[in-house]
Structure 1
Amino acid sequence: MASMSLSFYSSIILSPISKHKCFKFPNPRTQVSIFRVTRSAISYPPSKSTSPSSPSVVKKKHWKQGEFPGTSEKPSTRRTPIKNIKKRLDKKDIAKAWVNTVTEALSERVDKKQWLQALEIFDMLREQSWYQPKEGTYMKLIVLLGKSGQPHRAHQLFMTMIEDGLEPTPELYTALLAAYCRSNLIDEAFSILDEMKSLPFCQPDIFTYSTLIKSCVDAFKFDLVGSLYEEMAGRSITPNTVTQNIVLNGYGKAGKFDEMEKVLSGMLESTACKPDVWTMNTIISVFGNMGQIDMMEKWYEKFRNFGIEPETRTFNVLIGAYGKKRMYDKMSSVMEYMRKLQFPWTTSTYNNVIEAFADVGDAKHLEYTFDQMRTEGMKADTKTFCCLINGYANAGLFHKVISSVRLAAKLEIPENITFYNAVLSACAKAEDLMEMERVFNRMKDNQCQPDDTTYSIMIEAYRKEGMNDKIYYLEQEKQTMLTDDKIVSEPEDEILA
């Protein structure tokens, strides 16, 4: 097995490719001031029918006859003690501190992509009389739900926002549309687009169309892309470089290289959407992911001739492509070239190298790379641990799979669907079906919805053991999950009809 050393100072000959320089409540409650006047210093004259037994009180007039009917007298009650005011102020400070703490907790859950806990905290905030809904909070939660594969909950939150008195905006609608796109619910996304077009102040913009176009190209529905381009032209919306890069990537993944070159030629002739380094990264990624190293290097040279300089992500793409093809010398050369040009190695750089060794079960170099990553203070992410788990599983070192899962928990690494699938796959390879089932149950307890890959891993593991009853129950559960998800997406009046 070919291997490499990742010493930062090793002398490795550069490859030819390295020769170049490279987001109000409608009736808010009225707040009552804690400061009140206990008694007025001005009082009316005593009544003439005062009882004779009443003690005579001499009152001193402050104004002349007819000027003002007031006299002064010593108040019969004392003013509110200062300590009571202090107590009220302390309560107010405590309330403010509570608000700040809960708000920070909400922000923390969003950052950690813990959508269920974030919604629970947000519901608690909404129950408070002092809380005022904010567009930014709803935006963050909708985006989080979209990234977490919860588009229907994102739509429910969107409707809650409207009930709370906030007006929808094009940005909020686009975030909701993106949530559907991320779950490949293109029909629902188009429904959001139609709803936007019917609202004068929520018209779709280039970002809306680019988001929907990306969803279409990812699903290889290029006929819909054409209709969206025509609609954009009718609205005088010009595609920008980001939009064109999305289409380029889609054509490349579909193997439509002629169409890809046509789009690229159009970009070169255009003055509005010239190709940029993202265009370069998109093209070389297409060929790199397909393992066509020669075409990747050819296009790299072409973009350099266009005057486009590479960036860190460009080199990461090259490293990833070389690693998948086990071309460790070139992979190492690019890394050394990055050092020479003072381009920092990033988490993605290390992930690509770790993944290369993980694919072939090279635990030794996998560990060495991970140790260097931590030595440099580089923060590992979910992909890092997915690669570690896959690598150790491929090497048959299942005890190290367990230690990696424990380390991920210690470092509070987000556990998403990819992470759980990696652990499930490792359990399947170890033929530990009981542990696989425990991981599967934990996954569902943590509100991480299984996907097709999840069920495929488990069904294949059961099939190897001839456990047809387990396969039957899994298939039934998958069908039930899809049915429940469909019900959630339907309006309540349709469900009750």
Structure 2
Amino acid sequence: MRELVIISSSSSSSTFIPPPNPKPPHHHKPKPYHFKPPPPPPPLSSSATFSSSKSPPLHTNLARGNANQPNNFAVLASQLAQEGRFEDFLAIAETVVDSGVESDKFVNALDAKSVSVGIERELRERRIRRSVAFFTGVEKLGISALRLFSGSAMSVLAAECRRIAGGDDAEEVVWLMEILHGLQFPLRELVDPMDIIKICVEKREPEMAVRFACLLPQAEILFCAIICKFGKRNDLTSALVAFEESKKKLSGPNMFAYRSIIDACGLCGDCLKSRHIYEELLAEKITPNIYVFNSLMNVNSQDLSYTLDVYKHMQNVGVMADIASYNILLKACCLSGRVDLAQDVYREVKQLESTGALKLDVFTYSTVTKVFADAKLWKMALKIKEDMLSAGVVPNTVTWSSLISACANSGLVEQATKLFEEMVLAGCEPNSRCCNTLLHACVEACQYDRAFRLFQSWKGSGYQETYFGDLDGSRVSIMAAESTCLDSNSLVSSYASNLQFSKSPKRVNFMPTTTTYNILMKACGTNYNRAKALMEEMETAGLSPNHISWSILIDIYGASGNAEGAVQILRTMCEAGIQPDVVAYTTAIKVCVENKHPKMAFSLFAEMKGYQIKPNLVTYNTLLRARSKYGSVDEVLQCLGIYQDMRKAGYKSNDHYLKELIEEWCEGVIQDNNRRLGQFISRERSDLRRPQSLLLEKVATHLRKSTTESIVVDLQGLTKVEARIVVLAVLRMIKENYTSGLRIKDDMLIILGVERVGQDTIRHEVEVKDAIIKLLQNELGLEATLARPRAAHGNFTQLGTSLYPDASTEEILARKDIREEIEFSTRRPASVQRLKVTKKSLYEWLRRRVGTTKR
């Protein structure tokens, strides 16, 4: 009889080269699902699975006489497995099975405990790939790997799987789960599926997440969880990939997956994408269920029109609306401020409730209450509360918050306080929003001391100012020192019949927030020391002051007249690590303007622009009102720059206010300007009715030119008043530059306009020319002459003067032949009318005005 000869090293250590994506044996097919299973991984080659750097491979020589006696070989194989020599174990098992011995006999003869010990040791040493290759090799021989596991070995495998699932390698953990699934291991006992999905979501591996979900029987539910988790991470792209991959694995449409992807669109703020998904569903002739319709309406609730269209379509296709549908409709009405439509929806729901078709819940009542609260309809909000109590629905915190807000928004501090106490009486604990709403109502009503009393009471020993009397209402005190109003006794007594009041004082577990301290800081008025102490208290409580906190502190310093202190607070804000926003800068700018520090205000504006912070409308309007008058060209240019920047940003500017300041500044070149300006403007009031944008743009353009350049003033398109302002603005600039030592380089040319067709148009241009000549010659004493036209052909004025030298302009325009010439001139090149003020005349005027002899 031949004997088995085993040649091996005594060392049990070996090096494992992991194979690519092993495949489960074909005789262990996974149970079929109702969705398409993933393609199996490529097979493992047992010959390439194990190798040892310390010992040569095992060689066997099995005598035929011992082939049918597996016990001896099973004992030897068990010892090898216990030592971790899995390659030798597989060699013996393969030889025994090839010799014709049944695998069950061989497995039954194995020492299961010894094999399990070896597997446990490999797993504890975190050689999971080596262990998996061993399991796969065993399966190829027709031996179930599960039969080699004891309970303790399975626990160790579960621990190792959880360790890998807690890592960050999504591909490795999914590969492992696919192998173990093919080997019929119970995956749900080994890992929590959500842990693996979490890794795939964090690594943005939607395909990998779907691959893993397909291994489990609850795959349809996991698909939805994957989509939702990507949506919560604001990763709509991955959510859409997971959605499309899940559709490939399913034999039919999954309405839950459609609902999940629509919800993900809402979480990511892409309502248009949700509409596209809905339209694709309809294009496939698939009728959504109520959950898909509700999600679509909820995601698009900010668009009331679209929400109503979806609701109508839902009715047309025969899908019955539930209470959630009506709640979403009410939410859409709330967001759009449609109180009337919300009332219609509420009446419809109440009618359905009366027939037993629906049952209103607390969300319905709370949403309707909020609609009325936002509209400051506090009486209607209180009526909803009565409806709730009549229907046996207990108000929740949201309901009470809306009721308190309804009264607070209407300035009814007493009523808001009573509702707050009713809330405590009902056993509903107020949240921070309720407390902050009541404090805000006190501050808005200038009841600052009351706000601080409430705050100290809540913060210290609870809400101890509330007392609860007998159920007959004979001893009910609401804020004992406060007076009653608005029929509060009837409200309290009616509610007392529905609730069991406690006879002991109630406590409010009050947790102040940053908003709480911000509200109290507003109550400090001009006491910046008290406001600063509140901010320090906020930090002591573990809260961080936000931009609003710092802005309020800046405003308080400004209200006390301390502009320098307000700017210093802005600097301290930066030192605290909080970059000021547009509100903080605007508040500081407002403080500087109100305290007559325009230069500081414009400096802050430039600083804000340097930090790439976009000004808002309040910023621009505040700066444009920084000066009541201008003193120099630079100041005018500064404000005109603000004005132009404001228009480029898309804000509508107050042109008239700025124009009046420009007028006053321009008229400064004429003595007794107030009288002259008033007389001139009063006669031409109609000129001020049109938008002034063109005027201000013209002024800004001309003031940016240097007097060392040729002075050309373009008055085309301006009225008489506007043309006067532009000319005076340029002359004032010339005067100030001359005072600074700048010389005049050339004559000043004033472009009056191109000769146009139409008697009214010509008359208007003549009036502008006469007004400017009168200004220059009569009021300023300058020499102004008409410059020679560049294009004389077609010049009807020159033609009329040559034909009728003694006629006035009006008489010339009235003649028939001149009018015919005007009509014919549309086919001729136009000529430009210009006035010229000589350099000599300008110098003489400047010497008179400035009182110097500069040349």
- TM-score, L = length of structure 1: 0.59
| 2:223 aligned with 1:135 | yes
Shift in alpha-carbon separation, 1:189–1:127, aligned structure 2, 3 A: closer
Q: Distance in 2 between matches of 1:132 and 1:72?
A: 42
Task: Render the CA deviation track for 1:302-343: whole Å, top value 9, x for unaligned.
Answer: 5545x35332233343234344456454444444444544x3
Q: Per-residue deviation at 1:128?
A: 9.2
Equivalent position of 1:239 in the other structure: 321
Q: Distance in 1 between matches of 2:205 and 2:534?
A: 42
Equivalent position of 1:175 in the other structure: 260
Shift in alpha-carbon separation, 1:471–1:197, aligned structure 2, 3 A: farther
Q: Per-residue deviation at 1:236?
A: 1.4
Equivalent position to 1:195, from 280, 283, 294:
280
| 2:365 aligned with 1:280 | yes
CA contact (8 A) 1:462 1:468 kept: no
Q: Distance in 2 between matches of 1:365 and 1:425?
A: 22
SS at match of 2:381: helix
User: What does 1:412-423 align with in structure 2 at a 5 Å threshold?
Assistant: 423=546
Of all paired residues, the percent bearing the same amino acid is: 12
Equivalent position to 2:586, from 445, 460, 485:
460
CA contact (8 A) 2:333 2:342 kept: yes
Q: Distance in 2 between matches of 1:408 and 1:185?
A: 36
Structure 2: segments with no counterpart, 5+ residues: 1-36, 51-56, 84-113, 129-155, 169-197, 214-221, 464-505, 555-568, 591-600, 616-855
Task: Render the CA deviation track for 1:162-211: whole Å, top value 9, x for unaligned.
Answer: 4587668433433332343456543332112123334578x533233233
Q: Distance in 1 between matches of 2:40 and 2:588?
A: 58
| 2:232 aligned with 1:144 | yes
Q: Per-residue deviation at 1:144?
A: 1.7
Equivalent position to 2:439, from 342, 346, 357:
357
Residue type at the aligned position of 1:44 = A
Q: Distance in 1 between matches of 2:238 and 2:424?
A: 49
| 2:556 aligned with 1:426 | no
User: What does 1:439-450 align with in structure 2 at a 5 Å threshold?
Assistant: none
Equivalent position to 1:43, from 62, 68, 72:
62
Task: Render the CA deviation track for 1:104-158: whole Å, top value 9, x for unaligned.
Answer: xxxxxxxxxxxxxx7897218889999924435424423423xxxx3xx223333
Q: Distance in 1 between matches of 2:517 and 2:279?
A: 44
User: What does 1:245-260 align with in structure 2 at a 5 Å threshold?
Assistant: 245-251=327-333, 254-260=336-342
Q: Per-residue deviation at 1:402?
A: 5.9
Q: Per-residue deviation at 1:356?
A: 2.3
SS at match of 2:613: helix
SS at match of 1:237: coil
Equivalent position to 1:98, from 157, 163, 175:
163
- TM-score, L = length of structure 2: 0.37
Q: Distance in 2 between matches of 1:69 and 1:403?
A: 85
Q: Per-residue deviation at 1:232?
A: 0.9
| 2:261 aligned with 1:122 | no
SS at match of 2:550: helix
Q: Distance in 2 between matches of 1:310 and 1:403?
A: 37
SS at match of 1:43: coil
CA contact (8 A) 2:200 2:209 kept: no
Q: Distance in 2 between matches of 1:30 and 1:377?
A: 66
Shift in alpha-carbon separation, 1:213–1:192, aligned structure 2, 3 A: same
Residue type at the aligned position of 1:123 = K
Q: Per-residue deviation at 1:456?
A: 5.4
Q: Distance in 2 between matches of 1:122 and 1:186?
A: 24
Residue type at the aligned position of 1:284 = T
Q: Distance in 2 between matches of 1:255 and 1:128?
A: 45
| 2:340 aligned with 1:212 | no
SS at match of 2:393: coil
SS at match of 1:204: coil
Q: Distance in 2 between matches of 1:77 and 1:249?
A: 69
Equivalent position of 1:87 in the other structure: 121
Shift in alpha-carbon separation, 1:325–1:76, aligned structure 2, 3 A: closer
Residue type at the aligned position of 1:426 = S
Q: Per-residue deviation at 1:345?
A: 0.9
Equivalent position of 1:295 in the other structure: 380
CA contact (8 A) 1:354 1:370 kept: no
Residue type at the aligned position of 2:394 = P
Equivalent position of 2:140 in the other structure: none
Q: Per-residue deviation at 1:86?
A: 3.9
CA contact (8 A) 2:327 2:367 kept: yes
Equivalent position of 2:613 in the other structure: 474
Residue type at the aligned position of 1:468 = F
Equivalent position of 2:519 in the other structure: 391
Q: Distance in 2 between matches of 1:279 and 1:137?
A: 28
Q: Distance in 1 between matches of 2:259 and 2:317?
A: 17
Equivalent position of 1:450 in the other structure: none
Q: Distance in 2 between matches of 1:335 and 1:320?
A: 10
Shift in alpha-carbon separation, 1:355–1:366, aligned structure 2, 3 A: farther
CA contact (8 A) 2:230 2:238 kept: no
Q: Per-residue deviation at 1:299?
A: 3.6
Equivalent position to 1:366, from 447, 450, 455:
455
Shift in alpha-carbon separation, 1:401–1:30, aligned structure 2, 3 A: farther
| 2:407 aligned with 1:309 | no
Q: Distance in 2 between matches of 1:311 and 1:179?
A: 30
Q: Which structure has the bigger radius of gyration?
A: 2
CA contact (8 A) 1:180 1:189 kept: yes
Task: Render the CA deviation track for 1:84-104: whole Å, top value 9, x for unaligned.
Answer: 54431312646334246459x
CA contact (8 A) 2:201 2:209 kept: no
| 2:425 aligned with 1:345 | no
Shift in alpha-carbon separation, 1:297–1:430, aligned structure 2, 3 A: same
Shift in alpha-carbon separation, 1:99–1:31, aligned structure 2, 3 A: farther
Q: Per-residue deviation at 1:286?
A: 1.7
SS at match of 1:132: helix
SS at match of 2:320: coil
Q: Distance in 2 between matches of 1:367 and 1:30?
A: 73
Shift in alpha-carbon separation, 1:433–1:244, aligned structure 2, 3 A: same
Shift in alpha-carbon separation, 1:206–1:75, aligned structure 2, 3 A: closer
CA contact (8 A) 1:218 1:250 kept: yes
